[in-house]
Amino acid sequence: MRKDYTKSGFLSFAITIWALVCAVFVGFNPDFSWFMLGAIAFPILASILFNNYYNKSGLVLCRVLVGALFVFSSFTKGVDPLGTKYKMLDYFIAYDIQWLNEYALPLAITMIMVEFIVGICLMLNLLPRLATLGASLLMIFFTVTTFFDAIYNLVPDCGCFGTAIKMSNWQTFFKNLIILAILIPLVFNNKSLVNKRVTSLGQILFTFVFIGLFIGFEIYNVRHLPMIDFMEWKVGKDMKPVEDAAPAEIYLTFKNIETGEEEEYLSPNYPWNDSVWMSQWEFVSQRQEGVSQSFGFSILNDEGDDYTDLLFDSENLFVFVAPYLEEMTEKDINECQRIYDFANENGFNYLWITSVNPEYVYELQDKYYMFDEVYYGDELELKAMVRSNPGLMLMNNGVILDKWSKIDFPCEKEINLLVRN
């Protein structure tokens, strides 16, 4: 007697498992591969041709898998919305829509929230039909965008998983195709996606509760520092360079605002201290050659001399990080002044790192005496140090003891406890 695969759902599980196997292989292959494209095409075509073979269990598996991935992706971005904002600014430059720059942060918060709500609704079977529609629209948008990224390398890393997981553009594109393969059966069987255990009103109320909670989570991470720091500059990490390790080379691409001409520079060898040049060129992207365990960041004085060793050789060093000094408010300056006074009174070292033009720093030095030790570094690295402008780090011989956002600068008691421990 022939087995009824429609009822058993065997094919649905086989197709889903094949898609998951492809995902594993994508993780080990950052480049384009015709073999990988063909391997992924199989579950996509199979899920379309045999969508009626998906029984209830098969659809639940697909729903939970897609939902879990959306939740994980949104969490890694939601814990650091400013990182997503910076990534959006890269896309706005790449697609020449800089008029959206001022809306980058609210757009980032909204996009991450929508992704989370779609994911949590799929996982918990809340408004499943609407969630499936939302997931489909998001995946179509993400897949098209990452395809152009992969072809033209417009933005080197899409930031799909924030800074938690780095993926090449081809890996991201293939990953999106795999998600589509798992999502397609939900689209074709949309009418069977119902939740009979919770009323429609109850599902809507639960959804709005999750929206409120997640937006609160995002706002907290914007106002303070990320709850989980996926960046290189983690509290407790020793940032001293590894001896005899070859430094990675970071190349920065800038575009002329008027002509559209692009130039690539080996960081930090670009005319960052030329105010005329900086007004005519804008940052586009960066790429890294080589994988290094050494310290690939340097701080320079206004004459271009390297003072990076100050970060590694100084005890009890306060590092004021302000990529955009011109955006500091009077309240920010007063808080920095308080830490500066404490440092001077208690024998702590201190320095400023910024990426603004030295001419602006000279103006500040004429008004405030706390800007007497100012150095210059790459804007991208400064934003990775502390997700705040200004931000504060306390280091001891290269080890990061702690760091704070501008609204959480420490009191004297907190500082003394850190130093004693």
Q: Please, which residues bridge with residue 395 across strands?
A: 317, 400
pLDDT in tens, the chain (421 residues): 344 445 457 888 899 999 999 999 998 888 888 999 999 999 999 999 988 888 888 999 999 999 999 999 999 999 999 999 999 998 998 888 999 999 999 999 999 999 999 999 999 999 999 999 999 999 999 999 999 988 988 887 888 898 888 888 999 999 999 999 999 999 999 888 888 888 999 999 999 999 999 999 999 999 999 999 998 899 999 988 766 555 567 777 888 888 878 888 887 677 766 777 877 887 776 676 654 444 567 899 988 888 999 999 999 999 999 999 999 999 999 999 999 999 999 999 999 999 998 999 999 989 988 998 999 998 888 999 999 999 999 999 999 999 999 999 998 888 888 877 6
* CA distance linking residue 2 with residue 416, whole number of Å: 77
Q: Which helix (H) or strand (E) holds 35?
A: helix 34-49
Pairing state between β 349-354 and 317-322: parallel
> Over the Cα atoms of the chain, what is R_g?
25
Work out the angle at residue 232's Cα, subtended by the Cα atoms of residues 227 and 235, and round it to the nearest 5 degrees. 55
Crossing angle of helices 104-124 and 128-152, in 10° steps, is 130
Farthest CA pair distance, the chain: 92
Can you tell me whether residue 300 is helix, strand or coil?
strand
* CA distance linking residue 128 with residue 283, whole number of Å: 42
Write the CATH number of the domain with boundaries 231-248+299-421: 3.40.30.10
Amino acid 316 reads N
Cite the DSSP H helix spans in 96-199.
104-124, 128-152, 169-188
pTM > 0.75: yes
* CA distance linking residue 365 with residue 143, whole number of Å: 49
Contact assessment for residue 322 and residue 288, using Cβ atoms and an 8 Å cutoff: no
Q: Please, which residues bridge with residue 143 across strands?
A: none
* CA distance linking residue 92 with residue 84, whole number of Å: 12
pLDDT of residue 245: 53
DSSP letters along 308-348, please?
Answer: TTHHHH-SSEEEEEETTGGG--HHHHHHHHHHHHHHHHHT-
Domain boundaries, the chain: 5-223, 231-248+299-421, 250-289
**206: nearest Cα among 117, 79, 133, 73:** 117
Q: Which helix (H) or strand (E) holds 255?
A: strand 249-256
Number of H helices, E strands in the chain: 15, 8
* CA distance linking residue 214 with residue 112, whole number of Å: 9
CA distances for 151 relative to 32, 144, 155, 177, 269, angstroms: 10, 11, 11, 15, 28
